[in-house]
Amino acid sequence: MKNTRRVFLMTVAARGAALSTLARAQAKVDEKDPQAVALGYVADATKADKAKYKTYAAGQHCGSCALFQGKATDAAGNCPLFAGKQVTNTGWCSAYAKKAA
């Protein structure tokens, strides 16, 4: 009986940890976040404000940016400019810097 209770509690604890990891992994940057607005971040690079950000060039996106911490094929990944949230692979912001080939 005692072992059953311990296993149950360990399972609950493990599930809780897994869920919080999942929740963290799924948190995406909101385009309305102050930091996102300040950097002109958009989840879809083609929607970048081209009039305001003259450095934008077609084809630029988070997935090919030096600061993108996911794999080039990941749908989303971390970016040091947005701590604790993920940017989309297809996103863009004015701090874009092409990843060295």
Report if residue 40 touches ligand SF4, rule: CB under 6 A. no
Say which DSSP state 85 is in. S
Interface characters, 5-34, with ligand SF4 (x: CB under 6 A): ------------------------------
Rank residues 6 and 96 by Cβ distance to ligand SF4 and give the closer one. 96
Q: Which residues, other chains included, contact 28 with Cβ-Cβ below 8 Å and sequence gap of 6+?
A: 43, 76, 85, 86, 87, 88
Positive or negative, the Cα torsion across 52, 55, 59, 62? negative
* 8 Å CB contact between 70 and 81: no
Interface characters, 56-75, with ligand SF4 (x: CB under 6 A): ------x--x-xx-------
| Residues in contact with ligand SF4 by the rule CB under 6 A | 41, 62, 65, 67-68, 79, 81, 87, 91-93, 95-96
